[in-house]
Amino acid sequence: MNLKKPALILTAIVCCGALLAACGSDDLANEGVAVSDPWTRITAPTATTGAVYMDLESADGDRLVSASVPSGVAGKVEVHETVTNGESMDSGEMGDATEGDAMEGDAMEGGMEGDAMMGMREMKDGLELPAGEEISLEPGSYHVMLLELQAPIVEGDTIPVTLMFEKAGEVQVDAEARDAES
Amino acid sequence: MAGSRSERSPMRGSRLLVVLVAAVSALVIAGCSSDGYPGDLNGMTRQPQTEVGNVLLPNENAKSSNATGSLKGDGDGLMLVYFGFTNCPDVCPTTLADLRLALEDIDPEQRDRIQVGMVTVDPQRDNAEVLNGYLGFFFPEEQFSSFITNDKAKLAEVEKIFGASHRIGKKQPDGGYDVDHSALLYAVDSDGVVEVEWPFGTTAEDMRSDIEQLLDRRADQSSS
């Protein structure tokens, strides 16, 4: 009388089945990422960088890991965040700034909040999309940065941008070239 | 308004707060002041106002009407000064695009009294051709000045006058680098007084309204 083996096997099957069922239902519930109003600003003829903006929302939560555009548009694409007074963020990213150093304490001596320096930080870990929250990539904030621009972006252009999300995978959108936000 | 020089250590949180509150209060008071300021300007005005004096910078735009490289407005006009760099993907193009929008909506007669001057904080990459091409994209060629100097001390001197600053970032393997910089737009009249300054994010509408007010005020003063 040996019931243990079949019982174990049965248990294993039931467990796997339950797990698979659970995974399956997760997949069904994940509706991916909603991308709205993707646009890019037209660039000056001598500019070598550009920016793509859009609104993102993921019902279940996700992360924008990277993005790409055709090589004929730009050589490199990164996800960036414009920050104010960048030294409070990942220290060391600005490295040994030996050139153009503002004299220490100047930003405060002037006494004006607006004097604070603005800069960009690459979001190497990507951009988190909390579940159900709309995240805006917009001027002065998050943006997909285009580097090594191969040609100026002009009005009428549409730039195909492939977004890579941790869960949703690849999503392609067309960014409309505009001279202003609206 | 010199800070306390004897304080070598970074300000503590509470002192920082006091300074900020004081600064903001000063700005609020300045904004409410009826000292010849009938309207409300959307931008900020320092107390006392910055005076740029007779400082000059090389103007690499040969088509510009600003032959001397002055940072002041002309006659009854204004010079709008911006510190930035052309490799900037987000902040600079946004501000200049908003400024262009603002100027497009202004009366042509008033628009003629406006000059735009950009001081590059990245002269290593922004030479005359690059900066002229860049500014020419936003403004008519007679209307802008391309201020470029490789003299770091000179650049620092001019920045200090305005309260601007920048920091060149670490060079990346591919030779590129970021530049952090203060992102205000300053309106300077022909006396060299900074009448108003707009922080990053100021809308085209707000800039336009301030410019018109300042020009009206100036015209009234000239005719009286």
pLDDT of residue B18: 67
Please say whether the beta carbons of A166 and A126 come within 8 A: yes
What are the C-alpha distances in Å from A14 to residues A9, A28, A88, A107? 9, 21, 52, 65
Q: What is the pLDDT of residue B9?
A: 59
Instruction: Give the pLDDT of residue B10.
Output: 56
What pLDDT sits at residue A7? 73
pLDDT at B97: 97
B78 close contact with A: CB closer than 8 A: no
Task: Read off the pLDDT of residues A126-175 as tens digits, 9 standing for 90 and up.
Answer: 999 999 999 999 999 999 999 999 999 999 999 999 999 999 999 999 99
Exposure string (b/e) for A123-146, b if CB count within 10 Å is 16 or more? beebbebeeeeebebbbbebbbbb
- Tens of pLDDT along chain B (224 residues) come to 444 444 455 556 677 776 666 666 655 555 444 344 446 899 999 999 999 999 999 999 999 999 999 999 999 999 999 999 999 999 999 999 999 999 999 999 999 999 999 999 999 999 999 999 999 999 999 999 999 999 999 999 999 999 999 999 999 998 999 999 999 999 999 999 999 999 999 999 999 999 999 999 988 877 65
- Closest chain B residue to the Cα of A106, Cα to Cα: B163
Distance (Å) from the C-alpha of residue A130 to the closest C-alpha of chain B? 24
> What is the sign of the dihedral through the CA atoms of B95, B97, B102 and B106?
positive
Please report how the helices B91-104 and B204-223 are oriented relative to each other, as an axis angle in degrees rounded to 10: 50
Q: How many Cα atoms within 13 Å fall on the side-chain side of residue B26? A: 16
Please judge whether A51 and B93 are an interchain contact, meaning their C-beta atoms are less than 8 angstroms apart. Answer: yes
Phi, psi (rounded to 5 degrees) for B122: -135, 60
- Give the start-to-end residue ranges of the domains of chain B: 42-223
User: Nearest C-alpha of chain B: how many angstroms from A38?
Assistant: 15
Helix axis angle for B91-104 and B128-138, nearest 10°, is 50
B16, B90, B176 member nearest A139 (Cβ): B90
Chain A: closest CA distance from residue B222 (Å): 31
Q: Give the nearest partner residue to A45 out of B93, B137, B201, using CB atoms.
A: B137
Contact criterion met (CB < 8 Å) for A120 and B178: yes
CB contact under 8 A, B90 and A108: no
Interface test with A, best of B182, B185, B208 (most A CBs within 10 A): B182
Predicted local distance difference test score (pLDDT) of residue A180: 84
- CATH number belonging to domain B42-223: 3.40.30.10
Q: Count the neighbouring beta carbons within 10 Å of the beta carbon of residue A170.
A: 10
Q: Chain B: nearest CA to A35, how far in angstroms?
A: 20
Q: Output the pLDDT for position A96.
A: 39
The pTM score is 0.78
Which 105-124 residues of chain B touch chain A by CB within 8 A? 121
SS3 labels along chain A: CCCHHHHHHHHHHHHHHHHHHHHHHHHHHCCCEEEEEEEEECCCCCCCCEEEEEEEEECCCEEEEEEECCCCCEEEEEEEEEEECHHHCCCCCCCCCCCCCCCCCHHHHCCCHHHCEEEEEECCCCEEECCCCEEEECCCCEEEEEEEECCCCCCCCEEEEEEEECCCEEEEEEEEEECCCC
- Residue B116 phi, psi (nearest 5): -115, 135
What backbone torsions phi and psi does residue B52 show, to the nearest 5 degrees? Answer: -85, -10
Across the interface, of A110, A140, A179, the residue whose CB is closest to B163 is A110
Chain-chain contact of A114 with B199 (C-beta, under 8 angstroms) = yes
- Helix segments in B34-177, DSSP class H: 91-104, 108-111, 128-138, 152-162
Question: B1: which strand partners?
Answer: none
What pLDDT was estimated at residue A94?
41
d(CA B212, CA B106): 7
Low-confidence ranges of chain A (pLDDT < 70): 1-3, 11-12, 14-31, 86-114, 182
Best mutation site among A43, A46, A69, A146 for testing chain B: the one with the most B CBs within 10 Å?
A46
Would you tell me how many other CB atoms lie within 10 Å of the CB of residue A3? 8
A109 with B2: Cβ contact below 8 A: yes
Instruction: Determine the Cα–Cα distance for residues A88 and A122; give it in Å rounded to an integer.
Output: 15
Q: Which residue do the tokens 């900037």 mark?
A: B88
**By the CB < 8 Å criterion, does B15 face chain A?**
no
What is the total residue count of chain A? 182
B26 in contact with A, Cβ within 8 Å:
yes
* DSSP-derived pairing of the beta strands B185-189 and B194-198: antiparallel
ipTM score for this prediction: 0.80
- Phi and psi, residue B91, nearest 5°: -65, -55
